[in-house]
Amino acid sequence: MSESKTNENGEGKVRGKSVLLRRQKIVELVQSRGFASIESLSEKFSVTPQTIRRDINELTEEGHIRRYHGGAGLSSSVENVAYTARKVMCRHEKIRIASMVARHIPNNASLFMDIGTTSEAVARALLEHNGLRVITNNLNVASILCQRDDFEIIVTGGVVRCKDSGVIGESAIDFIGQFKADFGILSISGIDTDGTLLDFDYKEVRVDRAIIAHSKKVFLVADHTKFGRDAMVRLCNVRDIHALFTDCRPPADFMEMLVRANVTLYVAEEEQS
């Protein structure tokens, strides 16, 4: 009996070391790539997706990484996940949000569109519209919308941020100030429970503030991972927007905050049902 217990204890220690080593390597991968999917981690470590989900949950609780739908990313208030990783994070959720937003934009409308992968999803969803006039500091948005000959696409001046083709700087702010658009489409990195909208780059935030100031209506597009996510730069308060478009109903404390701020909430999963 004692020999059996010794073997079991020995196996338990080996399994424990194996789990710790795997989780350490998961953290290292996330830190180097910015994001790692459950599928890729499952294949790399030859374990089930359920095992990887448990690893991610534990590492998230310990504060090493942040759990996202479909994988894990950096847990940081000073550095955003890399653009290439954000393109695949919550991809289907962003498509649903974008489709919902497009239904609230009429033909022949004028829009500001900012930097972000969710804004790019909205651009793709707007390709079925007619006669749009779009002012953007996002070269990816401009490239997507240029597929339509009847769209007028206006790109701000400024400094191109090579990592995501965003245009920032004083020239972009001054350019936006020349217009008054029907809608401003904004994306965001985080939403605090007090209603503060947060991002990582103060230069990008300054352009977004100009968009808010020169839009008749401001639509915020944000998937569920943005609720409670931390970032160090304050954009504004949720009171400054007119509507929030997301993929699933926010937690109760955020719902109360949105009601107090008089923000109209659109939820993709509820519209589809």
**Residue 217 and residue 117 in one domain:** yes
Last residue of some domain: 56, 75, 94? 75
| Position 80 in a domain | no
CA distance to 53, 54, 70, per residue, from 50 (Å): 5, 6, 12
Q: Examine the pLDDT at 14 and tell me if it is beyond 70.
A: no
| Position 156 in a domain | yes
User: Which residues form the domain of 33?
Assistant: 2-75
Q: Which residue(s) pair with 154 in the sheet?
A: 135
| Position 8 in a domain | yes
Q: What is the pLDDT of residues 186-235, one digit of tens each?
A: 999 989 989 999 998 999 999 999 999 999 999 999 998 888 887 889 99
Q: What is the pLDDT of residues 66-95, one digit of tens each?
A: 887 678 877 655 556 666 667 767 788 999
Q: Examine the pLDDT at 151 and tell me if it is beyond 80.
A: yes
**Residue 127 and residue 68 in one domain:** no
Mean pLDDT, range 151-159, rounded to an integer: 97
* Number of structural domains the chain divides into: 2
Please tell me the number of Cα atoms within 13 Å of 84 on its side-chain side. 7
Instruction: Work out the pLDDT band at 34, boundaries 50, 70, 90.
Output: low
* Proportion of the chain above pLDDT 90, given as a percent: 66
